[in-house]
C-alpha cells in the first residue's frame, strides 16, 4: 500500500493540513475526539511524516557525513564500522562520501554538506588537500567537524589521530637493529600530514644512527597512479643502491612492494625487509607474513563519532577543539626478522 | 560567514518570500530589475537553498540508498566505487547502510528508506534474509529497487548477478581434475541464494563424477561468528575424513581456511587445494597465491546503479524487472595446482 502524505490525510478527514498536523503533535488546540480520529486514520492509511519536512521543522537532519579517501583500504572499512555503531545507537544516518584522494571532490562534497543536509561532518582528508578554506567555510557555518586519522597540521578543530611520528621512528630503528643498512620510506604523498609525520620520525631515527647522512634520499614518493607507483618501486629495486629495508606508509604501498618483489624474485625478508602501516586482514597469511604498525581503526572511528555527537548535541558545552591520540601497535611477523633468524 | 535562509533574504530585500523565490527561479512574474537585485543580494549574503526544502518542492531527494552486508569485504568496496561513479555523474548522493549480515538491521534500514528520504534503493541482502515482506513494502510504495550480487531467488525485481551455479560447478570439476578425491564446499549461509547456487553447482559436479554419493556431506556451513567459523574449519581439517580440496564461498572463509592451515601446518596445495569466490586484492601475494573465482564487482555496481537510475528517471518506460548476469572469471594460482606440478 502506498503511503499517503499530510495533504491527502487532511482531505480524507475533511480537515485542514494544519489541524491534522497539530492533532498528530497532540496540540491542546485540538479536541481529544478529533485527535483520536486523526490518529486512527493515520494508522489506517499508512501515513508517516516526510523526513525532510520533519528535518526542516526540527532543524536536524539526523544525518552525519563521513568523508573518506576510499573504502578499499581495510583501515577505512574498520573505521566506518566504529562510526556506524555510535551513529546507530543515536538514531543517526551516515552519508558516506569518497573523495578518491582528490581535493576537488572533497571540496565539492563539503559544499554539499552545508545548508542543513547534515548535522556534522567526520573527515579523513585526501592526499591532495593542502588548502583548508573549504574546511574553514564549514566551521564558519557552525557545522561541527571532527577529523579522524588524516587531519591537517594547522587547522583548529577536533581530531582523533595516532602516534605517527613515534611509529615512524620505531620502524627505522627496528629495521636497523635487524641489520638493514639502507632502509627507505615509501610515502604516498608529500602533502598528507600522517605520511609526513611518519616519514619525519623515520628520517630522524636513521640520521640519529649515523648510517645515512642525506635525509633527502630516505623518502620516496609514490603519489601517482597504481601503475606509476609500481614502476617507481620497481626502479628502486633495480637501482644500484637497492634498499634492504622498506617502510610502507600505507597498505596499498605494502601490497605493491610485495607484488614487485614477487615479480622480480626478490626475497622478503632475506634481500629486503618490509614493515607497513596497515590494518590489512591478510597480513598474517601473506608470503611472507607482513609486519605491521597496526592503527586502532575501529576505536578511532568510535572516538571521532563520540566527539562529533558531543558537539552536535551540546554545542555550548563543547566549544574547544580536542585532540585525542590513540597509539598504534607493532605486530612483528616474518617480513622483517633479523638475518640470524633465517632458517 | 553564516548562510542566510529564504526568509532572512526576503526581509533584507523587503519583499515576500514567494517573490524572492520566484525571482531566483527567473519567473516571468517578476521584473528584470527586481530579479537582478535579488540575485545580487543572494550572492552577497551567501544565500543558498536548503536541500531538504528543495527536495520537498521537487519531490526528489537526489539521494539513493546502498544497503550492504559490510564494507570490509573487497567485493563491496569495489561495488561501491562503481555505484558512486554513476551516482556522481548524475549529481546524486549515496546513503550507505551496513546490515552487518543482520535481517533485523536490514529491515529497520528499509523502513527508513521510505517516506521520500531516498529516490531509490540498491541492495545486497544479508545472509539472514529469508522473509521478503520488507522488500515488498518498498516496492508497494513505488520506490525503485535493484538488487546486486545477493538477490532473493523468488522476488520479482531487477537484479545484477553473476553465474554462481556455473562457477560452483567449475570449481568442483577443477579440483577433481587436479587430483582431489574429497573436495568440500564452505558456505557462509544456507539461506543466502548466492551461496546456495554456488553450492548446488559444486554438488552437481561432484555427484556427476561419481567420487561421492552423499550430497549432504559435501557442503559445510560456517555461518556463526569468526571464532565459530574458524573452529569449524579446524575440526574439518582434524577429522578422519580430511578434505583434500576446499571451495570457499566468500572471501572471509578463504582467509580463515588459510589461517587454520597455517596454524595446523597443513600445506596448501600439497595437502589441501583451495579455490575461493573472491576479489581479494592480496590473492596473488598470499602464501601460496590464492586461486579465485573473481566476480565483476565494479561492473556489477555500475550496472545496478544504471538500472536504478533508469527506473528513477523514466518510471513509465522501465516497468518490467530486468535480470542482468555478468560472468565471473577464474584466476588460477598456486593454491590449486595439480600434484604433478609440485616442485
Q: ipTM of this predicted complex?
A: 0.76
User: What pLDDT, on a 0 to 100 scale, did the predictor assign at position A59?
Assistant: 58
Judge whether B48 is closer than 8 Å to chain A, CB to CB.
yes
Whats the size of chain A, residue-wise? 343
**pLDDT tier at B191 (50, 70, 90 boundaries)?**
confident
3-state secondary structure of A294: strand
Query: Contacts of residue A69 in chain B, CB cutoff 8 Å?
Result: none
CA–CA dist B300, B279 (Å, integer): 13
Query: Contacts of residue B136 in chain A, CB cutoff 8 Å?
Result: none
Give the residue-averaged pLDDT of B315-338. 93
Tell the residue number behind the cell numbers 515576500, with chain if given. B16
Report H helices in chain B: 6-13, 17-24, 32-44, 51-58, 74-89, 103-113, 133-140, 164-177, 193-209, 226-238, 251-263, 297-313
Which three cell numbers, joined as nine digits, stand for B29?
512574474
3-state secondary structure of B97: strand
User: What pLDDT, on a 0 to 100 scale, did the predictor assign at position B54?
Assistant: 52
Which of B68, B285, B298, B334 should one mutate to test binding to chain A, selecting the residue with the greatest count of A CBs within 10 A? B285
CA–CA dist A297, A329 (Å, integer): 11
Query: Contacts of residue A98 in chain B, CB cutoff 8 Å?
Result: 80-81, 84
**CA of B73 to nearest chain A CA: how many angstroms apart?**
8
User: What pLDDT, on a 0 to 100 scale, did the predictor assign at position A252?
Assistant: 93
Higher pLDDT, residue A39 or B92: B92
Judge whether B56 is closer than 8 Å to chain A, CB to CB.
yes
Cβ–Cβ < 8 Å for A40, A24: no
247-266 in chain B: CB under 8 A from chain A: 255, 258-259, 262
Contact at CB, A61 and B52, closer than 8 angstroms: yes
CA–CA dist A253, A187 (Å, integer): 8
Query: Contacts of residue B93 in chain A, CB cutoff 8 Å?
Result: 95, 97, 112
Cβ–Cβ < 8 Å for B43, B263: no
Task: Report helix angle A32-44 to A17-24, nearest 10.
Answer: 90
How many Å is the Cα radius of gyration of chain B? 26
Handedness of CA B241, B247, B248, B251 (dihedral sign): positive
Query: Contacts of residue B74 in chain A, CB cutoff 8 Å?
Result: 72
Residue B326, exposed/middle/buried by CB under 10 A (0-12, 13-18, 19+)? middle
Rounded to 5°, angle at Cα A293 from A292 and A299: 120
Give the residue-averaged pLDDT of B144-156. 94
Nearest to B291 by CA among B261, B339, B258: B258
Q: What is the pLDDT of residues B159-188, one digit of tens each?
A: 999 999 999 999 999 999 999 999 999 999
Judge whether A115 is closer than 8 Å to chain B, CB to CB.
yes
Q: How many CA atoms lie within 13 A of A117 on its CB side?
A: 25
CA–CA dist A209, A187 (Å, integer): 21
Contact at CB, B56 and A51, closer than 8 angstroms: no
3-state secondary structure of A286: strand
Q: What region does B275 belong to: left with phi over 0, alpha with psi -120 to 50, or beta?
A: beta
Statement: the pTM of the whole predicted model exceeds 0.90: no
pLDDT in tens, chain A (343 residues): 566 788 888 888 888 888 888 887 777 788 888 888 888 888 788 776 665 555 544 557 889 999 999 887 889 989 999 999 999 899 998 888 888 888 988 998 898 887 778 999 999 999 999 999 999 999 988 899 999 999 998 899 999 999 999 999 999 999 999 999 999 999 998 889 999 999 999 999 999 999 988 888 999 999 888 999 999 999 999 999 999 999 999 999 999 999 999 999 999 999 999 999 999 999 999 999 999 999 999 999 999 999 999 999 998 888 899 999 999 999 999 999 876 776 5
For the cut 90, the answer to whether the pLDDT of residue B259 exceeds it is: yes
Nearest to B61 by CA among A63, A39, A250, A212: A63
User: What pLDDT, on a 0 to 100 scale, did the predictor assign at position B334?
Assistant: 96
Cβ–Cβ < 8 Å for B185, B124: no
Strand ranges of the sheet holding A120-123, from the earlier edge strand across to the other edge: A323-325, A158-161, A145-148, A120-123, A63-68, A93-98, B93-98, B63-68, B120-123, B145-148, B158-161, B323-325
Higher pLDDT, residue B55 or B334: B334
CA–CA dist B50, A299 (Å, integer): 34
Q: Domains of chain B by range and CATH? A: 6-49 (no CATH), 58-162+297-328 (3.40.50.2300), 164-294 (3.40.50.2300)
Amino acid at each position: 500500500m502506498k503511503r499517503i502524505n499530510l495533504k491527502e490525510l487532511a482531505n480524507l478527514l475533511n480537515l485542514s493540513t494544519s489541524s491534522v498536523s497539530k492533532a498528530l503533535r497532540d496540540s491542546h488546540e485540538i479536541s481529544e475526539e478529533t485527535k483520536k480520529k486523526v490518529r486512527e486514520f493515520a494508522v489506517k492509511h499508512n501515513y508517516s511524516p516526510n523526513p525532510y519536512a520533519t528535518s526542516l521543522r526540527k532543524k536536524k537532519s539526523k544525518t552525519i557525513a563521513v568523508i573518506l579517501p576510499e573504502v578499499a583500504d581495510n583501515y577505512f572499512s574498520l573505521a566506518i564500522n566504529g562510526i556506524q555503531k555510535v551513529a546507530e545507537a543515536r538514531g543517526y544516518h551516515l552519508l558516506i562520501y569518497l573523495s578518491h584522494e582528490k581535493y576537488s571532490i572533497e571540496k565539492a562534497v563539503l559544499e554539499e554538506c552545508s545548508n542543513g543536509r547534515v548535522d556534522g561532518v567526520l573527515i579523513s582528508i585526501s592526499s591532495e588537500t593542502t588548502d583548508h578554506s573549504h574546511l574553514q567555510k564549514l566551521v564558519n557555518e557552525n557545522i561541527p567537524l571532527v577529523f579522524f586519522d588524516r587531519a591537517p597540521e594547522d587547522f583548529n578543530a577536533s581530531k582523533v589521530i595516532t602516534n605517527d611520528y613515534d611509529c615512524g621512528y620505531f620502524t627505522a630503528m627496528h629495521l636497523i637493529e635487524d641489520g638493514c643498512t639502507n632502509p627507505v620510506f615509501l610515502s604516498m604523498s608529500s602533502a598528507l600530514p600522517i605520511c609526513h609525520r611518519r616519514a619525519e620520525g623515520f628520517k630522524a631515527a636513521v640520521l640519529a644512527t649515523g648510517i645515512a647522512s642525506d635525509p633527502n634520499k630516505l623518502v620516496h614518493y609514490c603519489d601517482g597512479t597504481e601503475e606509476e607507483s609500481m614502476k617507481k618501486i620497481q626502479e628502486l629495486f633495480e637501482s644500484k643502491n637497492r634498499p634492504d629495508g622498506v617502510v610502507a606508509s600505507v597498505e596499498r604501498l605494502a601490497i605493491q612492494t610485495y607484488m614487485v618483489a614477487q615479480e622480480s624474485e626478490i626475497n622478503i625478508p632475506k634481500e629486503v625487509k618490509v614493515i607497513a602501516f596497515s590494518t590489512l586482514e591478510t597480513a598474517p597469511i601473506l608470503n611472507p607474513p607482513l609486519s605491521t604498525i597496526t592503527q586502532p581503526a575501529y576505536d578511532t572511528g568510535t572516538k571521532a563519532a563520540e566527539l562529533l555527537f558531543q558537539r552536535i548535541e551540546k554545542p555550548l558545552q563543547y566549544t574547544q577543539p580536542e585532540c585525542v591520540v590513540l597509539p598504534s601497535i607493532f605486530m612483528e611477523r616474518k617480513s622483517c626478522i633479523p638475518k640470524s633468524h633465517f632458517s
